[in-house]
């Protein structure tokens, strides 16, 4: 048997091990979703911004953070959007091109697209503010399993909306990557976005 023939099985073995190693590398590259039950593509829906209508599928292609709330929210919503804005400011220019921040207002009785746009962009000009009719918002909240309830109206005509407090971190392929708390810091939001930016590269 020639020396070249005896080396052939060794070369095949080395190539096989390299392929296995490459496969394991790519598997490990994909972050494990914290909530696998959401790891399916969400039902598409359409909502409205100040200048155009947006289907949720239009937002695919970039890593996104999505939060549901309303402009009359006394505490959770503004605090969360402050962190959204700070997180966007912490990204470099290349990273900013690969992410989106979306605020969906569920108070169909008071929140117009124009009002939501003004509210969202107060925290950062790149935050996309969206809302819709009651029926449109029911579809959107059902897709994300978000509570959608209006509390009792008080004597002054004011009321609160039950909207849940999760921040949804979306993968660039349109699937949910993970859920994080509304209390997550700007640094934690940035870390989550960068993780999914790297995953898509």
Delimit the domains of the chain by residue range: 1-30, 36-200
For residue 38 the two structure tokens come to: 């959401």
Q: What are the residue ranges in the chain where pLDDT is below 50? A: 12, 16-18, 20-36, 39
Rounded CA gap, 188 and 186, in Å?
Answer: 5
18 is in an annotated binding site: no
The pLDDT value given to residue 101? 96
The pLDDT value given to residue 201? 82
73 is in an annotated binding site: yes
The pLDDT value given to residue 34? 46
Listed in sequence order, the residues at least 6 apart from 177 whose beta carbon sits closer than 8 Å to its beta carbon are: 31, 33, 63, 169, 170, 171, 192, 195, 196, 199
The pLDDT value given to residue 35? 47
CATH architecture of 36-200: 3-Layer(aba) Sandwich (3.40)
For residue 193 the two structure tokens come to: 């976005």
Rounded CA gap, 101 and 62, in Å?
Answer: 10
Q: Residues 43, 176, 173, 41: is their CA dihedral positive or negative?
A: negative
Q: What is the pTM of this model?
A: 0.80
The pLDDT value given to residue 100? 95
The pLDDT value given to residue 7? 55
163 is in an annotated binding site: yes
pLDDT in tens, 105-124: 999 999 999 999 999 999 99
């Amino acid at each position: 048997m020639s020396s070249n023939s005896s080396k052939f099985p060794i070369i095949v073995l080395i190539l096989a091990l390299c392929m296995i190693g490459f496969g394991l590398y790519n598997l490990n590259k994909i972050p494990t979703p914290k909530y696998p039950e959401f790891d399916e593509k969400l039902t598409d829906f359409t909502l409205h911004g100040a200048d155009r209508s947006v289907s949720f599928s239009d937002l695919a292609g970039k890593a996104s953070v999505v939060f549901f709330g309303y402009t009359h929210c006394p505490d959770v919503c503004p605090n969360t959007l402050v962190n959204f804005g700070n997180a966007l400011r912490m990204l470099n220019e290349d990273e900013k091109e690969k992410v989106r921040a979306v605020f969906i207002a569920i108070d169909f009785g008071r929140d117009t697209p124009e009002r939501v746009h003004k509210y969202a962009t107060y925290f950062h000009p790149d935050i996309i503010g969206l809302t819709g009719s009651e029926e449109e918002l029911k579809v959107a909240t059902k897709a994300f399993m978000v509570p959608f309830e209006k509390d009792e109206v008080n004597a002054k005509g004011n009321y609160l909306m039950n909207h849940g407090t999760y921040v949804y971190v979306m993968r660039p392929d349109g699937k949910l990557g993970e859920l994080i708390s509304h209390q997550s810091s700007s640094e934690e939001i940035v870390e989550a976005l960068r993780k999914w930016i790297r995953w898509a590269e």
